[in-house]
Structure 1
């Protein structure tokens, strides 16, 4: 159960004064809500962090006020000058004074009665806003605040500025945030006293208070002590949760697997090349995991073309050698069929019985696969999300391989694990997106990691050049010459807006243009096509009946046509580095020299220019991933933000990497000293886990 002292923070945001059904809908639009939460709560308001601050502390007399600055003035109301009847364009003016001069407060399209109530003649009012000079007169248009002397404390002299949405004002958001701060309880300190002292960080309650009700303008800065403290809290909660889940996996009884090596030897001898050093190392690490008494949960990360599929097949072969079954799950049908095509000849040479299960297999064909699977006649099942449907039953699933892990949520991984007889399936997850170390720690903290850093022998470098779209005709002449020599071309069109329709239009337009030039050797592939049509198009391209394949980014992952040696990417400036690198990985797979042409529309922005330059300079996916992280931040590098991958609300701050390292070290040391979090600090850290909603970890220590 969540500690009772936190309950006020997890109440609906509608319990805050002034937040009714209309505003709750606007807050829902504006706030970042965690997966599975449909209505904003007080805690979501609390984590809605300001992006800046308005400083209203300057309180000059009128003769000292500097035009163009924001000031707070103590004024006496002299007279009202309503706009003339029938002239809606003329402003309503209220003349006010202090001991040194006069100023007009100016209102356009104003409601007269409201202004009369706000500024009664003869009364003193504190007024805050931007002062300007208009001719010889001072004026302030639409003051931000008008308050009586008794209500002066309600005006924030340092006013946080929040991200807003249409219909939601800064004042309402500030009022809600202040109320949320009032609900923050006195919590036990979960940070080490020395660590806090060395950094001069405030306690949790003060840190939250100072971000939403700053003492100094810099309190709202991401680099300031209050925000850094909260960022570290969020990172520590995440690292502690990962460490708990990982510790639990290590202590969960796994299934020891060690095969004779006979099937693996047959696969190795059927390979057209010998395994690279990093493939051999990865297989040794995997074999050691499988032979241990705990369950394997390992991430295999390798660059495009580094040979992950072979490592996956060898891993699955260990299960079959031990008399059990294995499964391989891919995020798309195209990729699942690609895996089958790649491993089928090797599996056949080794006597492995393969089958495919996707959403397309229906009726009798599907029933036949399920029947053979349940009886143990299938050794390895390859498929999509269809693998973890309730009616898919294995006779004895011992190893599950999950490709492109970031396309699946953690709960989907667990659903596949549960298909094992005792829920003790060993899991290998793979990604072709090389992941920088900081992202490994935040997105994959519960996994052991193996890296494939070499490319198999025979892989040729891809010559990469960026060129303006104006050189299109010259490029087409080059392609015509290459086609005469037997080349094949991928031509990728981007998502112009975030709609399927525009994506399609761009690809179809280019397809029609190239068809006019080259005839029916040009094909089209996009996400809106029927699965059968997609397969037929890919098969025609793989068989060299089509010479040019115009496609959307559906070809980004896993498509393998060794003869294709030219990749043209239109509007390359609109793609992220990771995506450009994935697309380039579709060529350079055969004996022919390969090219990647990055067509862009000038002028290029600075970031786009850096991306394209990086692509020209290196093919090292790990270097590219680090650059992508630097240019884009961690949110997008793994593709879209996915459930199961934490998105930070506070922690994306300057010095993030150093804070993350420290949080990881602290979490590991803490669990070594106090594995069940029962010490005073351990109990306080439990509160932290609840506060940042690390539910999976909380569930584990509740069960302990």
Structure 2
């Protein structure tokens, strides 16, 4: 937490049994852990009522005063009826075989009850709810007794208008968490303002930390806003410091050289660069010409022409006598890049050497590659993680390109940049997954951003159609369409959400080979295959040896097959918005008209069906990225490799808190400029694994 830590063990502050439960079932060991386990919602008393927004079957808590008490006997069973009024609404509570309660639960008694709500003829009622008396005695029953382990129930409940509801488990109730938070805050001395002065328009940090767990009459919103700001500021300060640190590093100034390899490639391109590509090439060229290390993100959808932009930038470095490294996430993609770059450069007549380096190469081939790298014979080195190994020495590495940046960690990126001990190489990271602006501001705020949105010349937009299972004729027509494409000399992908079982790769491939396409070549590709086997299948598909490739999502980042013009994604509701868009980008790689068929088992009026329709209705990846952020958590969007964001951003909603993030970024720049030492001290507690998601490149 920004500038504040409470490393006291919970067992030293709250009863041992409860501390052990919190650690075992929720992983909360320290007071800090508990204080950052924020309520997920609040129940408001006073001017409004918890009943108003509740539904039949909800478990609620209700605070009020007993207005009426009536006891009766039915078939030798005593039934006690209470009417409890909170100033707005009344609720009836019923207790069975509890005659003794008539002396305790009298008219005028103030109490809180908690239990399951039901409605009878529109009247809210509760059967045998737990209760706690708010008259100073602290008497409680049921789950509310758990609160008494942490101090006086009257002190905790009597003056509250808002009750926190925590993320809890079957073994640890929200009452235990509320009581533990109360005990921790009672034992915590006033917290000094970590920013030295309270930011304008926000409440103090001490006040926010206490009110988020125990809101006053004004409610929790002001506390939440301050804590959201602190979350955003902690990341913004790291980014601002990174920018300052980078400004002290030196890179080789690689000016554009007329008449060399870069010019040769530009003159030989079969299609003119799009306006977006021209702009990006200009931005990269300007960055490379400076002695400040370039740190730029190039985002563009599959097929938008990122690779040619990156190659033109690499040639500017090569024209200045520097080597370039291209880091790819898989061997298949690395080898494809190497072949594609070699062919492009050969067609341009450029005398540039491209060398591949992957882990599966035999010893002799690897040794030849390593020798050409260290001798300076290799201009562009394309590889996987093998590039990062200590045995790889570069002659003069001046520029690093990282493809699919989200698949690499900070250590891997930094190891590659450290291959030149004389200066810091320029760096370009690329992603085919459009990044929503709030994530870009938060996670990539230390990078300059170039964006490609247009399709290069010769590329045709991909037509998309939804194929619901509840229209069998549409499904049959989809298979016919695949057959027609193959008959025209094209190829097809069929993507399945699983390998085995109903609707899996193995079942669908068997069905297609036996029933739909017995005369065609049907191939199988999935993640449980060995690397060599997968490479062989993709190579065969690329050569045209396979007509229909049935695969899992392993093709999401894979070899370009320009001849593949149709894809059916089975059970498309099983995939995320971004993943569907990425998969669709595997077709349409050549100049042929292409089609993506989104098969779905979802019902027509379901949210899943609407999501699939939304993907099919637009090819704008940036619009879909925003949709993806709205329908999933930001942690999911960022990917498990960047799970640190889920630890850091516990309150901020990246779809709604743009203004807070923007202000934090602006304030961070000001803090770093005025007092960099303060910024460093505030962010010193960020662990390396927390930083990793910030530095994915």
Question: Shift in Å at residue 512 of structure 1?
Answer: 0.9
Separation in structure 1 between the aligned mates of residue 93 and residue 283 of structure 2, nearest angstrom: 77
Does the aligned pair in 2 maintain the 1:59–1:73 contact within 8 Å?
A: no
Question: Mapping of 1:311-460 within 5 angstroms?
Answer: 311-348=309-346, 349-361=349-361, 363-422=363-422, 424-460=424-460
CA contact (8 A) 2:490 2:547 kept: yes
The answer to whether the 8 Å contact 1:234/1:692 transfers is: no
Shift, 1:372, TM fit:
3.1
Given that 1:493 and 1:551 are in contact with CA atoms closer than 8 Å, whether structure 2 keeps it comes out as yes
Task: Give the Å deviation of 1:460.
Answer: 0.8
Deviations 1:517-555 (A, max 9, x none): 213511111111111111111111111111111111111
Aligned residue for 1:302? 300
1:176 matches 2:180: yes
Q: What is the CA–CA distance in structure 2 between the aligned matches of 1:239 and 1:194, rounded to whole Å?
A: 15
Please give the per-residue CA displacement for 1:308-339, whole angstroms capped at 9, x wherever unaligned.
Answer: 11122222223322222211111222222221
* Farther-moved stretch of structure 1 (50-59 vs 451-460): 50-59
Matched, 1:24 2:23: yes
Q: In the TM superposition, what whole-angstrom CA distance separates every residue of 1:345-383 from its partner, at most 9, and x where no partner exists?
A: 124442222222233235444344333322323222212
Taking structure 1 as reference, are residues 323 and 59 closer, same or farther at Cα in structure 2, changes over 3 Å only?
Answer: closer
- Preserved CA contact (<8 Å) 1:14 1:24: no
Partner Cα distance (1:276, 1:134) in 2? 67
Task: Determine helix, strand or coil for the equivalent of 2:466.
Answer: strand
| Counterpart position of 1:33 | none
Map of 1:480-499 to 2, 5 A cutoff?
480-495=483-498
TM-superposed CA distance for 1:258, in Å, is 3.1
Shift of 1:690: 4.9
Out of 6, 12, 30, which is 1:41 matched to? Answer: 30
**2:695 maps to which residue?**
none
**Once the two structures are superposed, what CA deviation does each residue of 1:75-112 show, in whole Å capped at 9, x if it has no partner?**
99999x9xx9xxxxxx9x89799999x976459xxxxx
* 1:91-170 matched pairs, under 5 angstroms: 105=95, 128-130=113-115, 140-143=127-130, 145=132, 149-151=136-138, 152-155=154-157, 157=160, 158-170=162-174
Residues 1:147 and 1:398: Cα distance change in structure 2 (over 3 Å)? same
Contact 2:302 2:582 in 1 (8 A): yes
Please report the TM-score for the alignment, with normalisation by the length of structure 1.
0.81
Cα distance change, pair 300–485 in 1 and its aligned pair in 2 (3 A): same
Partners of 2:303 and 2:585 within 8 A in 1: yes
**Count, aligned residues:** 642
Question: Contact 2:251–2:423 (CA<8 Å) still a contact in 1?
Answer: no
Question: CA offset at residue 695 of structure 1?
Answer: 9.6
Corresponding residue to 1:240 among 234, 237, 240: 237
1:671 shift after superposition: 3.5
Of stretches 646-655 and 339-348 in structure 1, the one that deviates more from structure 2 is: 646-655
For the 8 Å contact 2:398–2:424, the answer to whether it is kept is yes
CA contact (8 A) 2:296 2:428 kept: yes
Q: In 2 relative to 1, CA 644–26 (structure 1 residues): closer, same or farther, beyond 3 Å? A: closer
Aligned counterparts of 2:599 and 2:400: Cα–Cα separation in 1 = 40
Report the CA distance shift for 1:314/1:164 in structure 2 as closer, same or farther (over 3 A).
same
User: Structure 2 stretches of 5 or more lacking a match?
Assistant: 50-55, 86-91, 139-153, 692-697
Q: Distance in 1 between matches of 2:629 and 2:134?
A: 47
Instruction: Indicate conservation of the 8 Å contact 1:77/1:119, yes or no.
Output: no
**Partners of 1:662 and 1:99 in 2: CA distance:** 46
Moved more, 164-173 or 139-148: 139-148
User: CA–CA distance in 2 between the matches of 1:695 and 1:637?
Assistant: 18
1:11/1:139 Cα in 2 relative to 1: closer, same or farther (>3 Å)? closer
- Asked if the contact 2:407–2:641 (Cα under 8 Å) also holds between the matched residues in 1, the reply is no
Change (3 A) 1:143 1:72: farther
Determine if the alignment matches structure 1 residue 518 to structure 2 residue 517. Answer: yes
- Match of residue 601 from structure 2: 601
Matched, 1:689 2:683: yes
Measured in 2, the distance between the counterparts of 1:304 and 1:694 equals 32
**Which residue number in structure 2 is paired with residue 186 of structure 1?**
191
The 8 Å contact of residues 634 and 654 in structure 2, kept in 1 or not, is answered as: no
- For 1:154 and 1:316, locate their aligned partners in 2 and report how far apart those are by CA, in whole Å: 65
Q: Name the SS of the counterpart of 2:595 in structure 1.
A: strand
Give the superposition deviation at 1:435: 1.6
CA–CA separation in structure 2 for the residues paired with 1:134 and 1:307: 64
Q: In the aligned structure 1, how far is the partner of 2:684 from the partner of 2:101?
A: 48
- In the superposition, the TM-score normalised over structure 2's length comes to 0.81
Tell me if 1:479 matches 2:482.
yes
Q: Is the 8 A contact 2:345 2:352 kept in 1?
A: yes
Q: Distance in 2 between matches of 1:604 and 1:413?
A: 45
Structure 1 counterpart of 2:551:
551
Question: Partner of 1:32 in structure 2?
Answer: none
Rounded Cα–Cα distance in structure 2 between residues aligned with 1:98 and 1:438: 49
